[in-house]
């Protein structure tokens, strides 16, 4: 085995010359040339080279759907508003009188 040899660069060169070769074929050729390499190194070098046949398959995640949730503060303020309206109608002397008062303010 040669010292100071960039194995990844040799793998990339060999993969560029023979793009149809599998990783095991590249490793076997490297061993014949006198530079033994492991299969994980070959896979890694090929993947970084962009000529990998393996692509990740999976569902792409998108944004989560928004769900309308009524908070406790909204619920209590709604209840407070309803109570205030009810007391206004009672103080006005009924619903018809409360409506007439509100129409005067509307003009």
34 phi/psi in degrees, rounded to 5 = 100, 10
- Average pLDDT for runs of 10 along the chain of length 107: 77 89 90 90 77 60 75 72 89 90 84
Q: What is the pTM of this model?
A: 0.43
Q: What is the domain partition of the chain in residue ranges? A: 7-49
What confidence score (pLDDT) does residue 63 get? 82
Q: At what angle do helices 95-106 and 72-92 cross, to 10 degrees?
A: 100
Query: Residue 77 in contact with residue 40, Cβ under 8 Å?
Result: no
Query: Residue 66: what pLDDT?
Result: 80
């Amino acid at each position: 085995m040669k010292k100071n040899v960039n194995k990844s660069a040799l793998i990339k060169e060999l993969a560029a010359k023979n793009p149809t070769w599998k990783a095991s074929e590249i490793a076997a050729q490297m061993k014949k040339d006198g530079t033994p390499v492991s299969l994980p190194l070959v896979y890694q070098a090929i993947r970084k080279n962009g000529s990998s046949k393996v692509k990740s398959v999976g569902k792409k995640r998108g944004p989560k759907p928004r769900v309308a949730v009524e908070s406790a503060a909204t619920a209590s303020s709604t209840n407070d508003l309803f109570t205030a309206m009810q007391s206004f109608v009672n103080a006005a002397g009924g619903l018809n009188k409360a409506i007439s008062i509100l129409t005067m303010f509307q003009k």
